[in-house]
Amino acid sequence: MPTYDELRAAADEAWKAVAAPPRPLFVVSINTSSLASGVDETLAALRKLSDAGAGFDVMQTGDTGFAWAEPVVQVVKPGGQAVLYGHVSPDRAEAFAKAALGGIATDHAIGVVSGTAPGVPALDSLDWMKIQTRWIMHNCGVIDPEQIDHYIARGGYAPFLAATKLTPEELINVVKGSTLRGHSGSFFSTGTKWDFLRTATAEPKYLVCNADEGDPGAWVNRVVMESDPHMLLEGLLLAAHASGATYGWIYIRDEYPLAIARVTRAIEQCRERGIFGADALGTGVTFDAEVVRGAGSYVCGDETGLISSVNDERGMPRIKPPFPAQSGVLGKPTNVNNVETYACATTLMRLGGEQYSTVGTETNRGTKMFTVSGRVARTGCIEVPFGTKVRDLLAAVGGIAGGRPWKAMQQGGPLSGVLPAHIAADLPLEPEPFRPLGAGMGGGGIVFLDETSCIVDLNVMTSWFVEDESCARCTTCRIGNQRMLEILRRASRGEGAATDVDRMKSLAASMQNSNCFHGQLSPVMINNTLQFFREEYEAHALEHRCPAKVCAGLIRYRVASQHDGVEAAAAICPTSAIVRDGDAWSIDDGRCIRCDACRDVADGDIVIEDRYTDVIPLRVAAPADVARAGG
């Protein structure tokens, strides 16, 4: 097998074609987001031009994080000028190529990566980038994720080599000293976890990488795997050296086929070059890994659920102890971390503890990746120092779309909660400040809500999700979530009862007795809602009114003016609910499913109004009133 120096020499040679290309190089971002924007056709169009002698070369890269600008293409010129372009849709690919070759494709320019380009701002001067410290993402959108040479040329696997000069205890102390904790949302000390495995007595020892990123609205792990799979594999090697583990399973969710393909390929490349297998790069570390393809189960994100799933069982979390470090995959000591955590370990060893400590907070040094979506101007993935204020994050993504008022933030998936804007704005992004609010920061997904969004409707969605994804082992979680969902659905239809809030609080309390986090944290969203959005909840449940006019059971559609547009609306209506009587159109409320298709074609002619306008609101009896009435 080749030595590291030999690998590095070959890699440097291969990287020259990217760092100093002999003719213009078009670097096309191929990732799940860009594929959704049709980049496969953009790539084909550019390749065709290149093959036809247009005088440029084409290379693929992973994810720049600029989901809002996909398809994204970076053009590197021989003189060293590199410009990042966005929105290179297939139909504009040819015109774009011509403009970019001749000078600057002004219509598409996002920012200058290196060199100068008149009229185009420096990429790092954009709000989107200014806030970021791209350490974990340092190869994202830079290298071809399917070329191990690119990774090695950018310094890859050198941190592992250096780390093997340390004893496992020394390496663990470095990791502990860095404050690195699980980026999945658990924020348990990574070094401590690795030490649990190191001191376990049984052999062999195993590693599991949790890439079952199931939080709706989170895709940070996808970005890492699709853009820089070797950074994850190097993190596994570091954990292997620290703990003595010899084999690993990377459990990737079924929804990420490209990540599965790229990580699988990266593993093969490691085997071919002697980085995986016996005596990795002559260091004495022996490690290999395989990809397990998930099949759609949220509770597999719990580490014991994940282990059950790898063990040929239903992915049901089990009772601890024994902890995975004592008995995990195949009954052997096992350590589970997620993708970003392993990648962060690589980042730590690449930068060194001193530099790693230069950003972040005292308790949480370094950076965290976030994916931002919902009602924001720009959807995408960014990496910021721990402690960054939520308001600054929101400003960096262009604020709320259309300049509407910001209402709330739903962070970290359905188990982490929802917070109103006035509280969220000054929260630093690190786990501790969220806890006194009865919420969590979660693993990186952040969904922003504006005034058009209904908190009760979002709660119905998240309650449905956690009920549907319960493994059903614990009665508290299985039945508790069913009851919660029933109550919320009733409330969203205006059929709330005065006693519901007490009932929900009682259910939430009993759900704390569930075995795993899924059951324990399922009520977080509802607790947050009752605490921070009580008025909005009561408007639904007791006053039969959805203030945002979203909840289907509390609104109705009415033909407000008999213009021609209504005829088109009648044609688009999927339930033929818009009916004509003589010259007058009206809506048959019994047939109307509130799908809004009519307003898409006849906005203004058809309006939404409160369904109930003459109902006397129920009044919630305060506990003192109940006591008096009873006594």
Partner 1 sequence: MPDNEATLEIQHLVRDLKPGDGDLLAALHRVQHRYGYVPAMAMGVVAKQLRLSEARVYGAATFYSEFRLTPPPRTLIGWCSGPACRLKGGEHIRGVLEAELGIGMGENTEGDAIGLHLAQCNGTCEHAPQVWIDGKVVGPLSAADTVRLVRGLKEEA
Q: How far apart are CA 569 and CA 109, in angstroms?
A: 40
- Three-state SS for 267-278 is HHHHHHCCCCEC
Q: Are 101 and 91 in contact (CB under 8 A)?
A: no
Question: Where does this chain touch partner 1 (CB under 8 A) — which range of 89-97, 389-397, 446-454, 509-517?
Answer: 446-454
| CB of 25 or CB of 292, closer to partner 1 | 292
CB of 240 to partner 1, least distance (A): 18
Instruction: Rule CB under 8 A: say whether 327 interacts with partner 1.
Output: no
Output the DSSP codes for 580-596.
EETTEEEE-TTT-----
| CB of 337 or CB of 371, closer to partner 1 | 371
Which of these, 581, 536, 540, 573, lies nearest to 557 by C-alpha position? 573
Instruction: Rule CB under 8 A: say whether 475 interacts with partner 1.
Output: no
Instruction: Rule CB under 8 A: say whether 314 interacts with partner 1.
Output: yes
b/e 336-365 (16+ beta carbons within 10 angstroms → b): bbbbbbbbbbbbbbbbebeebbebbbeebb
Q: How far apart are CA 7 and CA 153, in angstroms?
A: 9
Instruction: Rule CB under 8 A: say whether 338 interacts with partner 1.
Output: no
Q: What residues have CB less than 8 Å from 492, skipping those under 6 apart?
A: 456, 457, 460, 540, 546, 551, 553, 554
CB of 21 to partner 1, least distance (A): 30
Instruction: Rule CB under 8 A: say whether 242 interacts with partner 1.
Output: no
Residue 623, classified by CB atoms within 10 Å of its CB into exposed (0-12), middle (13-18) or buried (19+), is exposed
Q: How far apart are CA 627 and CA 108, in angstroms?
A: 67
CB of 616 to partner 1, least distance (A): 29
Instruction: Rule CB under 8 A: say whether 169 interacts with partner 1.
Output: no
Instruction: Rule CB under 8 A: say whether 597 interacts with partner 1.
Output: yes
| CB of 255 or CB of 610, closer to partner 1 | 255
> 59: which strand partners?
27
66 — phi, psi (to 5°)? -85, 60
560 — phi, psi (to 5°)? -95, -30
Instruction: Rule CB under 8 A: say whether 322 interacts with partner 1.
Output: no
Which of these, 459, 106, 160, lies nearest to 282 by C-alpha position? 160
Q: How far apart are CA 539 and CA 233, in angstroms?
A: 51
Instruction: Rule CB under 8 A: say whether 398 interacts with partner 1.
Output: no
Q: Are 201 and 235 in contact (CB under 8 A)?
A: no
Q: How far is C-alpha 116 from the geometric centre of its chain's CA atoms? A: 34
| CB of 6 or CB of 600, closer to partner 1 | 600
| CB of 159 or CB of 445, closer to partner 1 | 445
Taking CB under 8 A as the criterion, the residue among 313, 588, 589, 609 binding partner 1 is 313
CB of 456 to partner 1, least distance (A): 12
Instruction: Rule CB under 8 A: say whether 96 interacts with partner 1.
Output: no
Q: How far apart are CA 76 and CA 3, in angstroms?
A: 31
Q: What is the dihedral of CA 394, 397, 400, 403, to 10 degrees?
A: 110
| CB of 4 or CB of 66, closer to partner 1 | 66
CB of 254 to partner 1, least distance (A): 5
Q: How far is C-alpha 354 from the geometric centre of its chain's CA atoms? A: 29
Instruction: Rule CB under 8 A: say whether 333 interacts with partner 1.
Output: no
Instruction: Rule CB under 8 A: say whether 256 interacts with partner 1.
Output: yes
209 — phi, psi (to 5°)? -105, 120
Taking CB under 8 A as the criterion, the residue among 44, 95, 162, 330 binding partner 1 is 330
Binding residues among 178-237 for partner 1 as defined by CB under 8 A: 213-214, 216-219, 222
Q: How far apart are CA 176 and CA 189, in angstroms?
A: 7
Taking CB under 8 A as the criterion, the residue among 486, 596, 609, 625 binding partner 1 is 596
Taking CB under 8 A as the criterion, the residue among 39, 67, 491, 508 binding partner 1 is 67
Question: Where does this chain touch partner 1 (CB under 8 A) — which range of 91-99, 296-304, 473-481, 607-615?
Answer: 296-304
Instruction: Rule CB under 8 A: say whether 477 interacts with partner 1.
Output: no
Question: Where does this chain touch partner 1 (CB under 8 A) — which range of 114-122, 172-180, 290-298, 606-614?
Answer: 290-298
Output the DSSP codes for 349-412.
HHH-HHHHTTSB-SSSBSEEEEEEEESBS--EEEEEETT-BHHHHHHHTTSBGGGPPEEEEEES
Instruction: Rule CB under 8 A: say whether 575 interacts with partner 1.
Output: yes
Binding residues among 407-436 for partner 1 as defined by CB under 8 A: 410
| CB of 25 or CB of 232, closer to partner 1 | 232
Which of these, 47, 11, 12, lies nearest to 26 by C-alpha position? 47
Instruction: Rule CB under 8 A: say whether 148 interacts with partner 1.
Output: no
Instruction: Rule CB under 8 A: say whether 373 interacts with partner 1.
Output: yes
Instruction: Rule CB under 8 A: say whether 336 interacts with partner 1.
Output: no
| CB of 27 or CB of 316, closer to partner 1 | 316
| CB of 169 or CB of 603, closer to partner 1 | 603
Question: Where does this chain touch partner 1 (CB under 8 A) — which range of 66-74, 87-95, 265-273, 528-536?
Answer: 66-74
Which one-letter amino acid corresponds to residue 604?
Answer: G
Instruction: Rule CB under 8 A: say whether 133 interacts with partner 1.
Output: no
Q: Are 231 and 263 in contact (CB under 8 A)?
A: no
Question: Within 13 Å, how many C-alpha atoms sit on residue 181's CB side?
Answer: 16
Binding-site string for partner 1 from residue 22 to residue 41, where x marks contact by CB under 8 A and - marks none: ----------xx-xxx----
Taking CB under 8 A as the criterion, the residue among 263, 292, 477, 526 binding partner 1 is 292
Is the torsion defined by CA of 482, 483, 484, 490 positive or negative? positive
Instruction: Rule CB under 8 A: say whether 607 interacts with partner 1.
Output: no
Angle subtended at Cα 607 by Cα 602 and Cα 610, rounded to the nearest 5 degrees? 160
Taking CB under 8 A as the criterion, the residue among 289, 441, 458, 530 binding partner 1 is 458
Taking CB under 8 A as the criterion, the residue among 447, 542, 546, 559 binding partner 1 is 447
Q: What residues have CB less than 8 Å from 180, skipping those under 6 apart?
A: 189, 190, 191, 341, 344, 345, 348, 366
Question: Where does this chain touch partner 1 (CB under 8 A) — which range of 98-106, 173-181, 266-274, 370-378?
Answer: 370-378
| CB of 81 or CB of 452, closer to partner 1 | 452
Residue ranges binding partner 1 (CB under 8 A): 32-33, 35-37, 67-68, 70, 213-214, 216-219, 222, 249, 254-256, 292-298, 309-316, 329-330, 371, 373-375, 379-380, 410, 447, 449, 452-453, 457-458, 461-462, 465, 471, 552, 572, 574-575, 593-597, 600-601
